[in-house]
Amino acid sequence: MRLVLVGPPGAGKGTQAEFVAAHLQVPKISTGDIFRANVSQGTELGRRAKEYMDRGDLVPDEVTVAMVRDRLAEDDARKGFLLDGFPRNVPQARILEDMLLDMGTGLDVVLELVVDDEEVVRRLSGRRTCRGCSHVWHVDFDPPSVEGICDACGSELFQRDDDREETIRHRLEVYYEQTAPLVEFYAARGILVGIDATGPVDDITDRAMAALRPHSR
């Protein structure tokens, strides 16, 4: 299956992407994770992306698109993928459409995770991310058994620079201005499904899998 997740920052895209990709046996491709890995490795790409990420703005399309094009050309993405965080605006969506057309394929479905702004702020201000495996935790909603340490791989957890409240509010503005129009874009193509993304993580995964089932092939 070729699937895109959309939703505001903190909707739980990263959290659900891990489980849904495992169920579907496709690679999870997160542009935010790839950028953050480049920032921590000190690469040129990371250096260029960091100033935009820290402000909560989108990284310029030419940088992001080149990175996704390379990733989708890898062997493991041939039979399907789950994109988390890309596309992030209508120009990126059009480029993705062309990229997939060149490969003789297209998206099967776009899954929208629906949550309100106050839930986003609650989730992001308590988020902790693993330096080793990128697994996301939450200090109240999903704490690790030892504070500051990832249960999955034992690495240190950190708080993202863009998870300060004023940056979260700006990321939400960027979302409504640039990313939310994707909902209409994909609805017009008949491939959008939306689910309520509040409540326990497992229930949301169940809802996601039920919504995706009619689109699997």
Q: How far is the CB of 145 from ligand AP5 (least distance, A)?
A: 15
Q: Which is nearer to ligand AP5, 26 or 162 (CB)?
A: 162
Catalytic residue among 28, 36, 71, 88: 88
Catalytic residue among 13, 36, 123, 128: 13
Q: Which is nearer to ligand AP5, 56 or 80 (CB)?
A: 56
Cβ within 8 Å of residue 212, ≥6 positions away: 1, 3, 20, 24, 109, 111, 193
Annotation marks residue 160 as catalytic:
yes
Closest CA to 93 of 166, 6, 194, 200: 6
CA distance 56 to 98: 27
Q: Please provide the size of the chain in residues.
A: 217
Annotation marks residue 88 as catalytic:
yes
Q: How far is the CB of 85 from ligand AP5 (least distance, A)?
A: 3
- 81, HSE (Cβ side, Cα atoms, 13 Å): 24
Beta bridge partners of residue 68, listed in sequence order:
none
Q: Which is nearer to ligand AP5, 29 or 192 (CB)?
A: 29
**Interface with ligand AP5 (CB under 6 A):** 7, 9-15, 31-32, 35, 52-53, 56-59, 64, 85-86, 88, 92, 123-124, 127, 136-138, 141-142, 162, 171, 201, 204
Catalytic residue among 55, 160, 164, 207: 160
What does the buried/exposed string (b/e) look like for 104-129 if buried means 16 or more CB atoms within 10 Å of the residue's CB? eeebebbbbbebeeeebbebbbbbbb
Q: How far is the CB of 217 from ligand AP5 (least distance, A)?
A: 26
Q: Which is nearer to ligand AP5, 71 or 127 (CB)?
A: 127
Q: Which is nearer to ligand AP5, 24 or 217 (CB)?
A: 24
Pairing of the two strands 109-114 and 127-130: unpaired
CA distance 91 to 81: 20
Annotation marks residue 127 as catalytic:
yes
Q: How far is the CB of 135 from ligand AP5 (least distance, A)?
A: 9
Q: Which of the residues are catalytic?
A: 13, 88, 127, 160, 171
